[in-house]
Amino acid sequence: MACVLAIETSCDETSVAVVNDRHCCSNIVASQIPVHRQYGGVVPEVASRSHVETINQAIAQALLEAQLDWGGIDGIAATCAPGLVGSLLVGLTAAKTLAIIHHKPFLGIHHLEGHIYATYLSEPDLEPPFLCLLVSGGHTSLIYVKDCGHYETLGETRDDAAGEAFDKVARLLHLSYPGGPVIDQLAREGNPAAFSLPEGKISVPSGGYHPYDSSFSGLKTAVLRLVQKLEADQSELPVSDIAASFQDTVARSLTKRAIACALDYGLKTIAVGGGVAANSGLRKHMQQAASEHNLRVLFPPLKYCTDNAAMIGCAAADHLNRGHTSPLTLGVQSRLPLSSVMQLY
Ligand code: KG4
Ligand code: ZN
């Protein structure tokens, strides 16, 4: 058993958690969304300054809620890649400093590995292999989870991430940031068949389309053209219908690829993670398709879908149990493929 204090500051949430193997003892999340909303997206410099202001209090609060002092902590972890460099540096520097002061092992964690581990917090008996559909503001990936630290990315987006597409389309519809939850809410009142929108496909040189890769930039442009046409006609924008049609197109496209991938690789379980896993349209399509194909689909609770330190702590505890620790010379990286996770130890 390993009890880890983990820090996540890769983007716009300052989060600190205490995790005992797959059990979350505390998970403090200080969201910066209200700060960034006025700019319509995350401003990196503002994000890192805000992490500096919040992190000490979040660390103290995480220990307090877990009812532990440093004597009960076996290791200290922080997200080290991928993410905003200035933001990552705040969390990583805090974790290294605490590790030195309290003589604890230090671990750098890959943010996407954290999203994979989010599922274990609510499904502690789950074991690899399984497929992870990771859909967030920065990533859209289909990952073959083989073991702790061992992953194969089978599908990716070639342009915008799914969450990014939600945020950009929300901006086109004059809605607030982040766009995903707002579109999800509006889509409930709209007709998903109101507009026929194109599902992005990636052609392969040998002919046909890539079965698992996706693309959302064409869909975003199609929504832009639609909005421009409707605005030129001076008709009132049917925002709910556009939101519902867009959401349905994204959900169908992701579901089709995830199910095909699971069936082709003989994987019986699909764990969905990342902020877009909160989407009601995606949940509906995935659950329906999974039951038709006799597959199990797992959605972590919302608090573990969006960025949080509990998922980072869960991954760190597993690595620590296997004797993996990172050197204090480890730096942050804005990009790092998931296949390179074991280079961190
Ligand atoms: O995982 P996350 O918190 O941060 C990243 O690692 O990117 O994901 C944030 C993304 C945002 O793009 C947001 O619009 C999207 O998740 N999101 C949603 C929903 N809730 C959050 N997208 C669609 N439907 C939702 N209900
Ligand atoms: Zn994330």
CB 251 within 8 A of CB 299: no
pLDDT at 316: 98
For ligand 1, whether the C-beta of 274 sits within 6 Å is yes
Nearest CA to ligand 1 atom 13: 180
pLDDT at 163: 96
Nearest CA to ligand 1 atom 16: 275
pLDDT at 234: 81
Phi, psi angle pair for 203, to nearest 5°: -75, 150
Q: How many angstroms does the Cα of residue 139 sit away from the middle of ligand 2?
A: 8
pLDDT at 237: 92
* Beta strand pairing call for 140-147 and 75-81: unpaired
Q: What tokens appear for 212 in the block?
A: 């698992």
Tell me the best of 173, 276, 302, 312 to mutate to test the pocket of ligand 1, counting ligand atoms within 8 Å of each CB and taking the most: 276
Q: pTM value?
A: 0.94
pLDDT at 124: 97
Which of 18, 4, 87, 17 has the alpha carbon at shortest distance from 46?
87
pLDDT block averages, 10 residues each, the chain of length 345? 97 94 96 83 87 96 98 98 96 98 98 97 98 95 98 96 96 92 97 96 91 96 96 90 98 98 98 95 98 97 94 98 98 96 98
Report the chain's C-alpha Rg in angstroms.
Answer: 20
For ligand 1, whether the C-beta of 276 sits within 6 Å is yes
pLDDT at 228: 94
Q: What tokens appear for 120 in the block?
A: 């274990």
Host H or E run for residue 108: strand 106-110
pLDDT at 41: 80
- pLDDT per residue as tens digits for the range 114-162: 999 999 999 999 999 999 999 999 999 999 999 999 999 999 999 999 9
pLDDT at 233: 87
Question: How far is the CA of 247 from the CAs of 5, 214, 216, 273, 334, in angstroms?
Answer: 37, 15, 11, 17, 29
pLDDT at 155: 97
pLDDT at 30: 87
For ligand 1, whether the C-beta of 87 sits within 6 Å is no
